Every structure is written in C-alpha cells, then in structure tokens.
Amino acid sequence: MARSARPFGPAEKTVDAIDRKRERERWMMIQAAYKNAAELATRLVQRLLDKKILETTSDRDLREVFAKMLMKLSDMEDFDIQYKIAPLRGLTNDPNFISLYITQYIVEDIIDHPKVQEIYGDDLEIYQAVDSIMSHIRPKL
C-alpha cells in the first residue's frame, strides 16, 4: 500500500510534541495511581468524608473499593476511560483525567454500594475534593 505524503511543518511538530507530553503525563499518573493506590484511597475517602460529600457506614470498605479501582486503571483501555469521563469533560479547564474518572465513578457506581448512605454535592464539588488528592500524582512537566 502506498504511503501518503503528509506535510510536516512547524505546526504539526508542535501538535505532536503536545500529544507526546500529554501521553507521557497520563502514563506517569496511571503508574503513580497504581503504586500508591492504598494511600490515595485512604486520603480520598477521608477527604470525601471531611468535605461531607460522602456518607457511609464503613469507610474501610470504601477504601478497598477505591484502591481496587485505582489499580484497575492501569489495565483499562484508553477508550473505556474516555467513555467514562465524557459527561464531565467540560467541567473545568485542563482537568485531571483520573480525577474526572473518579468523580464519574462516584456519581454512577459508588452511589449503589451497600455501605454508601448518601452522596452530597454537585459534580464540580465532588471533582474539586477528588482533585485535591489526585493532583499530587500529576507530574509537573
């Protein structure tokens, strides 16, 4: 099959560099979430409880759920992550994709957990609480 000639100028080089940077950032964040899943889950559940976003009968069970979800992120396809965060993509400028994923996970999935009594706040409040923890794994590139 013939290769198509693609003009490759300064604009395309810039776009490719930005894409590579974002992909490297995503990979680093997923690896950090996997390695620090238990600690991040503990801090995340505590923050959600402190901000009175989440009401539960067992914070230990929720820590386990969040730790498993953070570890599972490394095995997920990019399409599945993008599909999950699609409703929240416009929530904020330059969003942390892991924070968006966890926010949507809370809104859609955690609400049905038997140990969760209630979830308070809108999507932005939940995202801000989640991102206050997850921003620590975002590399400063």
Structure tokens that stand for 118 in this block: 């209630």
Average the pLDDT over 80-105 and give the result: 91
Q: What pLDDT does residue 22 have?
A: 84
Kindly state whether residue 20 falls inside one of the protein's structural domains.
Answer: no
Longest dimension (CA), the chain: 62
- Show Cβ contacts of residue 38 under 8 Å, excluding neighbours closer than 6 positions: 63, 67
Taking the CB of residue 64, how many other CB atoms lie within 10 A of it?
A: 14
From CA 40, how far away is CA 43, in angstroms rounded?
5
Structure tokens that stand for 132 in this block: 């206050």
Kindly state whether residue 55 falls inside one of the protein's structural domains.
Answer: yes
Kindly state whether residue 17 falls inside one of the protein's structural domains.
Answer: no
Q: What pLDDT does residue 11 have?
A: 72
Q: What pLDDT does residue 57 have?
A: 93
Range of the domain at 116: 38-137
Kindly state whether residue 9 falls inside one of the protein's structural domains.
Answer: no
- Read off the pLDDT of residues 23-56 as tens digits, 9 standing for 90 and up: 888 899 999 999 999 999 999 999 999 999 999 9
pLDDT reading at 86 higher than 70: yes
| Number of structural domains in the chain | 1
Average the pLDDT over 79-106 and give the result: 91
Task: Report whether 45 contacts 54 (CB < 8 A).
Answer: yes
Kindly state whether residue 6 falls inside one of the protein's structural domains.
Answer: no
Q: What pLDDT does residue 102 have?
A: 95
Kindly state whether residue 128 falls inside one of the protein's structural domains.
Answer: yes
Kindly state whether residue 16 falls inside one of the protein's structural domains.
Answer: no
What are the strands, taking DSSP E only, across 13-125?
54-56, 116-119
Round the average pLDDT of the chain to a whole number and report it. Answer: 89
Place 15 in a pLDDT band, splitting at 50, 70 and 90.
confident
Place 1 in a pLDDT band, splitting at 50, 70 and 90.
very low
Kindly state whether residue 25 falls inside one of the protein's structural domains.
Answer: no
